[in-house]
């Protein structure tokens, strides 16, 4: 991971409650592993308010079908979009979700 700007990750779901918990877990993992990332959670309706301030958006798995729509909405910002893998979400595995977000960031 680079020493420069952090990878800015945004988690988005219905009202942001479960992603808020996951974001906190992801921040703990990032701090422990000294990863240069920031993680925030919002409701899906707030994505565009943050599009110019993030590098990766991960939607909750129940919104996976909306990934192409969100990709189009944020295309001008160069943001990469994906959805949290259902298994990671079900087990609230913040470490795995963090790795998934970083992998999406590094995809071409």
Residue from 4, 6, 7, 5 nearest 58 by CA = 7
pLDDT for position 66: 96
**What domains lie within the chain, and their CATH numbers?**
7-106 (3.40.50.2300)
Can you give the pTM of this predicted structure? Answer: 0.92
pLDDT for position 5: 85
User: Cβ–Cβ contacts within 10 Å for residue 60, how many?
Assistant: 21
Angle between helices 17-32 and 94-106 (to 10 degrees): 80
Q: pLDDT digits over 36-51, tens only?
A: 999 999 999 999 999 9
Q: pLDDT digits over 57-88, tens only?
A: 999 999 999 999 999 999 999 999 999 999 99
Distance CA 16, CA 22 (A): 10
Judge whether residue 17 has pLDDT over 70. Answer: no
């Amino acid at each position: 991971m680079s020493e420069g700007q952090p990878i800015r990750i945004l988690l988005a779901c219905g009202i942001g409650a479960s992603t808020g918990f996951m974001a906190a877990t992801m921040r703990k993992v990032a701090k422990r592993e000294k990863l240069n990332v920031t993680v925030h959670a919002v409701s899906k309706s707030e994505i565009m308010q943050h599009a110019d301030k993030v590098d990766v958006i991960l939607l909750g798995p129940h919104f996976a079908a909306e990934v192409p729509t969100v990709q189009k909405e944020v295309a001008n910002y160069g943001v990469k979009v994906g959805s949290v893998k259902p298994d990671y979400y079900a087990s609230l595995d913040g470490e795995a979700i963090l790795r998934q977000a970083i992998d999406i960031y590094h995809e071409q």
